[in-house]
Amino acid sequence: MATHRHNWQSPHTVVGGDERNHGVWSSGAAVIFREVCSCCGKYRRTASTHIGTRRTTTFEPADAKSSAWASAQ
């Protein structure tokens, strides 16, 4: 299997969020950023506290929407 570097992007049609801040969500105590890799369609979700003292990153597998978007890139 070939490896690649991820190219994280935030297209609104894939990651949602506010029209002006694609992929950005607020959970009250944290800001959540959702991005998608244009190479493989995998998601990256980063949650950061409002004061920036704690940050967690998780990854989610590609789904039909992100895979189709990545294939078109």
Q: pTM for this structure?
A: 0.84
Three-state DSSP class for residue 73: coil
What's residue 7's pLDDT?
A: 95
The pLDDT tens digits for 2-59 are 567 999 999 999 999 888 889 998 877 788 899 999 999 999 999 888 676 788 899 9
Write the CB contacts of 46 (distance below 8 Å, at least 6 apart in sequence). Answer: 32, 33, 35, 55, 56, 57
Identify the burial level of 45 via C-beta atoms within 10 angstroms of its C-beta, where 0-12 means exposed, 13-18 middle and 19 or more buried: middle
The tokens for 27 are 């959970």
Q: Where are the domains of the chain?
A: 8-71
What's residue 35's pLDDT?
A: 97
What's residue 41's pLDDT?
A: 96
What's residue 27's pLDDT?
A: 73
Beta-bridged to residue 31, according to DSSP, are 26, 48
